[in-house]
Chain A
Amino acid sequence: MYTYSIDDRQLLNERVQQFRGQMQRYLSGELPEDQFRPLRLQNGLYLQRQAPMLRIAVPYGLLNTLQLRKLAQITRDYDKGFAHVSTRQNFQLNWPALERVPEILAELAQVDMHCIQTSGNCIRNTTTDQFAGVAVDEVEDPRPYCELIRQWSTLHPEFAYLPRKFKIAVCGSESDRAAIFSHDVGLALQRNAQGDLGVRVLVGGGLGRTPVIGSVIEEWLDIKHLITYLEAILRVYNLLGRRDNKYKARIKILVRAMGVDAFRDAVHQEWAALKDGPSTLDLKTLDAARQHFSPMNYQTLTPDPTALEALAERHQIFKHWLKHNTHPHKIAGYRAVTISLKARGLAPGDITAEQIELIANLADQYSFGEARTTHHQNMVLADVREQDLFKTWQALQAGGLAIANVGHLTDMICCPGGDFCSLANARSLPVADAINERFDDVDFLYDLGQIELNISGCMNACGHHHIGHIGILGVDKKGQEFFQVSLGGKQADPPQIGKILGPSFSAQEIPDVIAKILNTYVNLRHENEIFVDTCHRVGIAPFKECVYA
């Protein structure tokens, strides 16, 4: 992974110093709240319903074990002993004390971590495929380009006061696991007929109040132009994006208002002065970036599927875990392991200090000392030898981290909702918990097959409900919480926004509603047809009839 140089560390330490001063001025009353607000947000600090929330950046979801252990220690020393993995692959602390945040930042800086630009109207953490570098369908490892984008966007002097937040996702594989169509800018690495590396550029995707699928503005852009082109997009957005209404301030609204062609023209006009300029990525820079993500020191292994199968036959729970929570690897004899953070009784994405330490230990023992966070709010050990899978599973099982539900109904994406977030209209966590309780029969879950269920507590859509196969959105009706259900959303291949089923439901009704939807699917599905494909084939009507009958 990328290793920090003296300069990187210097910048982080200076940032900590800067925020320490700003916090002092705020606490002494010298810096008014309205001025402090964007400064604290760009250091990840929210003032929430019950306590402040601090969002810690995990650039493109990659962590080493030193960082994991520091996170565990911080959750113990400054919080209640657990943290939360967000859909931007970041870590969140829900109960830090406001005045201790500069100390937390200083602790994070010791392991090359920070909270820079994890909130506020600026360029946020760039996200990517959790299987980057190991996926079998990969065209190009996206991490070197994510790292270049991280450097370019970090403390960018021109783009810290944008009309609204700005999110970039990069994918480098055939199957899009980074939801690039629902980002302000989505980048897909591709090779052209000559074998040269380029990027397909999407702009103006997003969820929130107005869900939009991103539009292609460049089919293939030579990789060397990546930064200058992004700079041009951001400048056009900074200058022309709406600032009069925060619900109309995202770039998707600008692109829609201008039209994709006019937007592209404006970008090209701005780009003309930057193209081939000093921020162009030359071969030496690209090579240096790739060096940081060169392949692990893999062994040449002869896979022994019969040994694994024999173990699996003897341990049925392991068999399920092997099937659902491990994934093919580009190197023979290795698998990628998803650690589900969707156990019953804990909020989706929540993880205790002890569990973080367990993952760190396993990463050191079995996965080259690295772990990853996913935008599905899980974690990944990307490089585990097949012969170590059983030991890994046993250790995860002992730590409550071996729930074999990845890709299934209870592997939900869910925002913290009204229990924590001051923007939320409804409490999403109890709904997630009720669904988890109702559908705890694993045989039924496995029979249902692949289903993505996403829950947001308000229309800001942090829980990505629009692109869930089943989406649940919390709404407020005259002070009461209700939940709207949508069906048929998809993050990719091709991306789709779910269709609203009809009038909303109370929290208590939701498990029954989901049960009816699932029964309808089971009755209508063709052999091997997954839920979302049935939705698209039969349309929403049969589901509606059953639910509102």
Chain B
Amino acid sequence: MPKRILNGALIPDEGESQSIQSFTDWQASASGQAVCVTPDDDYLALIPHLSALTLITVQFADFNDGRGFSLGRRLREAGYLGELRATGSFIRDQLHYLSRCGFDGFLLAENVAQASVDASLTEFSVSYQAAQDDPLPRFNVVR
């Protein structure tokens, strides 16, 4: 079974068509369309170049390390429109929160079935607070 998800659908992981640069390499070249960052990198340096990027992967070293959630939102809030992909040690049970933080791509560490992906991504139909998927909090809408 595949482990890669894009926009909610499992897709065959046939290797990347483009090469993903490490953040250090990207900084050195200041070009390229795909880059991998971790929360320890100075990822805000990407912000002036976001329109040139089509893929940013965010590496999770540990699924309990929630910095990647804020990192994702920061990049989306700065206007990034390309694929934002979570990689590393996050878990399936985090897909919903990750997607609300702006992640639309996922490379899971373990195999997963489409039904499980669907279940995790759609398990909540209501949300209270603003996030990347909905800029308006419910308390400013229903009142």
A: residues with CB less than 8 A from B are 5, 7-8, 10-11, 14-15, 17-18, 21-22, 31, 35, 38-39, 121, 148, 151-163, 227, 235, 238-239, 243, 273, 277-282, 284-285, 287-289
Contact = CB atoms under 8 A, between A and B. Distances in A.
A152 B129 contact: yes
Contacts of B66: 121, 158-163, 238
A17 B129 CA distance: 21
A227 B101 CA distance: 17
Q: Which of B67, B126, B131 has the most CB of A within 10 A?
A: B126
A160 B66 CA distance: 7
A39 B63 CA distance: 12
Nearest to B137: A279
Given A121-B66, A159-B66, 17 more contacts: A8-B126, A11-B128, A14-B124, A152-B128, A152-B139, A155-B97, A157-B96, A159-B69, A161-B65, A161-B69, A162-B66, A227-B137, A238-B67, A238-B70, A278-B135, A278-B140, A280-B140
Contacts of A15: 124
Given A273-B77, A278-B140, A285-B140, A157 B100 contact: yes
Instruction: Specify the main secondary structure of chain B where it touches its partner.
Output: loop
Contact of A239 (B67, B96, B142): B67
Nearest to B98: A157
A277 B137 CA distance: 11
Contacts of B97: 155, 157-158, 160
Contacts of A31: 93
A31 B143 CA distance: 39
B124 A156 contact: no
A279 to B, nearest CB: 5
A7 B64 contact: no
A18 B129 CA distance: 19
A151 B129 contact: yes
Interface in B84-143: 91, 93-94, 96-98, 100-101, 119, 123-131, 135-140, 142-143
A288 B135 CA distance: 20
Interface in B6-48: 39
Contacts of B139: 148, 151-152, 281, 285, 288-289
B4 interface: no
18 contacts: A7-B142, A10-B125, A11-B127, A121-B64, A151-B128, A157-B131, A159-B66, A161-B64, A161-B94, A239-B39, A243-B65, A273-B77, A277-B130, A277-B135, A278-B130, A279-B130, A279-B140, A282-B140
A11 B126 contact: yes
Nearest to A163: B66
Contacts of B123: 14, 17-18
B138 A7 contact: yes
Interface of B: 39, 63-67, 69-71, 73, 77, 91, 93-94, 96-98, 100-101, 119, 123-131, 135-140, 142-143
Nearest to B97: A157
Nearest to B68: A161
A121 B123 CA distance: 21
B38 to A, nearest CB: 12
B129 A285 contact: no
A158 B123 CA distance: 17
Contacts of B98: 157
Contacts of B67: 238-239, 243
Contacts of A154: 128-129
A152 B128 CA distance: 6
A188 B98 CA distance: 33
B70 A235 contact: yes
Contacts of B128: 11, 151-152, 154-155
B135 to A, nearest CB: 5
A279 B129 CA distance: 8
Contacts of B127: 11, 155, 157
Nearest to B64: A161
A284 B137 CA distance: 14
Contacts of A5: 142
Contacts of A10: 125-126
A309 to B, nearest CB: 47
Contacts of B69: 157-161, 238
Nearest to A150: B128
Nearest to B72: A158
A354 to B, nearest CB: 36
A242 to B, nearest CB: 12
A227 B138 CA distance: 13
Contacts of A14: 123-126
Nearest to B129: A152
A159 B68 CA distance: 11
Nearest to B77: A273
B129 A278 contact: no
Given A157-B69, A161-B65, A11 B124 contact: yes
Nearest to A160: B97
Nearest to B123: A18
Contacts of A35: 63, 91, 93
B142 to A, nearest CB: 7
A160 to B, nearest CB: 6
A287 B128 CA distance: 18
A433 B136 CA distance: 51
A227 B71 CA distance: 20
A155 B93 CA distance: 13
Contacts of B126: 7-8, 10-11, 14
Contacts of A279: 129-130, 137, 140
Contacts of A121: 64, 66
B140 to A, nearest CB: 5
A283 to B, nearest CB: 10
Contacts of A284: 143
Given A151-B129, A238-B69, A279-B130, A288 B93 contact: no
A417 B136 CA distance: 43
A227 B96 CA distance: 22
Contacts of A38: 64
Contacts of A21: 119
Nearest to B60: A161
A158 B143 CA distance: 24
